[in-house]
Structures are given as structure tokens and as C-alpha cells.
Amino acid sequence: MANNIYLLGTLVTPLAGAIIALLFASDNRLQRIIGLLTGLVAWCFSAVLLSQVYQTGVQTYALGNWIPPYGIVLVADTLGGLFAFMVTTIMVGGLLYTLQSHDKCMKLPAFLPLFLLMEVGLVGAMLTGDLFTLFIFMELMVLASVSLTAISDDRYGLEAALKYIFISSMGTLFLLLGIAAMYATLGTLNMADIAEILQSGERQLLAPASALMLLCAFLLKSAVFPFHFWQPDFHTTAPTPVSAMLSSIVVKVGVYGIIRLVTLLYVEEATLLEPLLSTLGIIGILFGSLGAIRTYNAKRMLAYSTFAQIGFILVGIGWGGTLALIAALVYAFNHAFIKSSLLMLMGVVASYTKVKTADFAFVSGIGRKLPALAGWLVLLGGLSLAGIPPLNGFISKLALVQAGVAREDWINLSLLVGFGILTLIYMIRAWQNIFQRGPTPTTTETKAEGDSLLAPFLLICACLLLGIVFAEPLMQLITETVTQIEDANIYISAVKSIAEGP
């Protein structure tokens, strides 16, 4: 369907919310309410959009009624619709968390507008059909998240933000060089147009170089080894709702870009890229898991864990084929709910300390002074991350193992399963330190009130539902998604039909 209003609404709603929130800069409570309502409206738009994509096919919207490839077009196939729905759902959780958070930075007039602009960048990156617009949305996402980290209550927030903005510049350079090479070679930046030209099998001089540069940019955005070194400081020092978004959905922009690269743009080169992706994935699983075991801070542990979890997804993409892509997408979707809830829970734990930190030296034994619900939620989230049934993390791990068996890649499958056990080790150790040990001298005194458990409670409930009730519907949706993206002509035809008219 051309000019689908729900497609435009999913993108424009958080932008409008950011502008409205700025108009009420003097009333912080009202800003937070506006942010939550905006997030809920955007979520409704994305839910309807995903339903329409699933039932009737690819949805498009030509901005300014310019006909592609000369104008910018928004495109929602099942992959874009699924990722946009994932983003808006997790963002609602983040906005809900801000309502009862005690962070000082959230009282600043710029916090909510920046948070909503981060959502604009995320949703836009998932729904754009144009490479240069993808760059614009990714940079908007980066600038918003960097600003939010720089104003964090953590004294190292500004340092971490500066580190990331310099490192991100390298990713920006890769992305711009890849886009420039693509335009110089093919004379277009419309992804459907590029895909149609590359289907011919011709590879002009700069086309392979463009693929490599785009891949490097997406790997850096996903914090994949060896582009991972910026992530622990950045994710740890960010305000809790921001770090929850960074480790759950912001890193998925790179994953989304890699999937587009190997299923739409450079399908022929996919067989060359896939072994590299699976190797980087295995390295990431090992390095991230060992880093999580050795770290001193609960939020930092989860930041390192993100290396490992993205590694699992990369292995699925690297294996290639229908089953492996299904496993990768199931893993990416479920991971967003698990990781965002766990980071919010660690934020709640830190909010009860006198110095507001998630360092194990200050939170070991503090769990006995927290609401009993907090301990159960952290345990459930940790078990889900480790892939214990009947939680949604088990569905992700099971799908990945089935894909590995079908691929008959026994070495990588063995490494994947073996290293996956490390997740259970560091999550159970963290839970025991916080909730099973007696109070230490640094945790004998706690604040009377901390952040609300409502947002992480709802996300953990979603993890249970996705593992027990909605596992089969999710698998059906993602199977349909993979079926569609494996046939690039479906995407190409939907965009080309705009020029043909009704």
C-alpha cells in the first residue's frame, strides 16, 4: 500500500512529542507524561503497521510525493515493521521508567526531547528505503544518545560520551565512504534501485569496496569485535533508561543493516561475508562472556554481555539459510526484552545505594533491603538470558541450535553452546551477590525509596509470555519475515510500484 499513514505516524509521532515536550520545559513531570503518551501512540501506530504488513504485504510512503529513486521513500516490509515494533515497545518501557526515576539528569528540560529524538533515529533507520537517509537517522540516534550520556549523573558520563563520539566518527566515515562509493558507481541511493541493479551480476569498480565499508560501519554500531571497545564505558555510565535502550535496541540498528546488506543489497557476496560474520560472532560470545564474568559492576557486566548476545545473532546470520535467519531474528527480538528489563532492574538496585552505583562493592547484599519482587525479577531475567525454559531466551537458543544442526557446523555449534553456559554463570553469580549475601559495611545503609519496578516488571512479564504463550505466533511472524526478505524482488517491486501509480 502506497502512502500508508501508519508508516508515517510511527516515525513522526516521537518527533512531534519531542517538540511538544520542549514547549513544556518548565514542567518536568508533564514532560515525562507527554513522553510516555507519545511512546504509546507511536507503539499503536507500529502495531497496526506490522499487522498490515503481515496481512497485505509491503507498505510504502513517498515523502513529498516524490517518485523514487529521486525522492525519499519510507518502506515497511516485515523486517522493517518487526524491528520498528520492537523499538517502539522497548521505548515505551524506557519512557515508563522515567516517570518514577530519581536521576537528577531526568529533571533537565532537554532529557525527554533527546530521548524521543533517539526513538526517531531508531525508527527512521528501520523504515527508510534510502541509504543516505539511513545515515541521517543513525547519526540522529548517535547524537541523541551521546548527549543523554554526557548529562548523566555518573561523573564519568561526559568522558564516556566523548570517547564514543570520537569512535563513532570512524563508523560515520565508513558509512559515508560506502554511500559515496555506491552513488559514484550506481548513481542512486534508493535501496530497491541499488538491489535491482546489483541483481544483474555486474560489479563496477567501487561496488565491492562499498559493501566492505558499509559492513564495517554496521559492525561498529553493533559493538561487534573488533569494534567493541567503546561500549562498556558508554553503556555503563548512561542514565538507566538510556543504557537499557543502548544495550537492547540501539545495537540492533547495526544488526538490521547487516541483514539488509546480505539479503537485499549484496546477495551474491553474502556467501563471502557469512563465514566472517560467524567467526566474529563466536569471538564476541567468548570475549563478552569472559568480560562479564570478570567485571566489577552489574551494569558493566550486562554491557559486556551484549557483546556475547550480539555474537549469537551474528552466528545465525553467518550460517545463512532460512532456519539460521529465523533463529537470528528470534534471538534479536527476544534479547531486546530481556536486556532492557535487566538493565532497568540493575538501575533500580543502584538507586537504593547512597552513592547510586551498580558496583558490586556497593550492591552486594543490598537485595535483602529491596522489595522481594526485585530478586525474583532479576532471577527470571538472568535465567531467560541464559536460555532456561520456559522463558523466551530458551526459544532463541533452541532456534539457534536447530539452525546449527541443520547447517552441520559442529565446531561453531559446540563453541556456541559451551560459551553460552558462561551466561548462566555470571548471571547467577550476580544474583547471588546482590540478593543472597548478607549486607556488607557499604550496604548497611540504603535509601528509603528507589526507582519503580513497574517497567522492568512488565518487560519480564513479556519475556514469560513470549516464551509460554506467544512463542508459536512469534515464530510464524518471523518465518514469514524471512520468507519475504529471502525474495528481494518483493521489496523491489513494492518500491517500484510507486512510480507506476495505482
Query: Which pLDDT score, from 0 to 100, does residue 459 have?
Result: 94
* Residue 37 confidence (pLDDT): 95
Q: What is the 3-state secondary structure (H, E, C) of 337-365?
A: HHHHHHHHHHHHHHHCCCCCCCEHHHHCC
If you compute the radius of gyration of the chain from its CA atoms, what whole number of angstroms results?
A: 22
- The pLDDT of residue 102: 83
Q: Say if 365 falls within a structural domain.
A: yes
CA distance 315 to 277: 6
Residue 10 lies in a domain: no
Cβ-Cβ contacts under 8 Å for 363 (sequence gap 6 or more): 298, 349, 350, 353, 357, 433, 434, 443
Q: What is the pLDDT of residue 500?
A: 62
Quote the cell numbers at residue 269.
557476496
Q: Answer whether 327's CB lies under 8 Å from 403's CB.
A: yes
* DSSP codes, 236-254: HHS-HHHHHHIIIIITHHH
Q: How far apart are CA 439 and CA 365, in angstroms?
A: 4
Distance CA 353, CA 362 (A): 7
**Per the domain annotation, does 369 fall within a domain?**
yes
Domain range holding 420? Answer: 272-468
Query: Is residue 134 included in any domain, yes or no?
Result: no
Domain annotation covers residue 112: no
Is residue 266 classed as helix, strand or coil in its secondary structure?
Answer: coil
Residues (pLDDT < 70) of the chain are 1-2, 201-205, 442-446, 448, 499-502
What whole-number distance in Å separates Cα of residue 225 and Cα of residue 307? 8
Residue 262 maps to a domain: no
Q: What is the largest CA-CA distance in the chain?
A: 72
3-state helix, strand, coil in the chain (%, to 5): 75, 5, 20
The pLDDT assigned to 201 comes to: 67
pTM: 0.94
Total domains in the fold of the chain: 1
Is residue 447 domain-resident?
yes
Is residue 333 a contact partner of residue 82, using CB atoms and an 8 Å limit? Answer: yes
Beta bridge partners of 62: 73
The secondary structure of residue 191, as a DSSP letter, is: H
| CB neighbourhood size of 37 (10 A) | 14
Note whether 10 and 127 are within 8 A (CB).
yes
Is residue 462 situated within a structural domain? yes
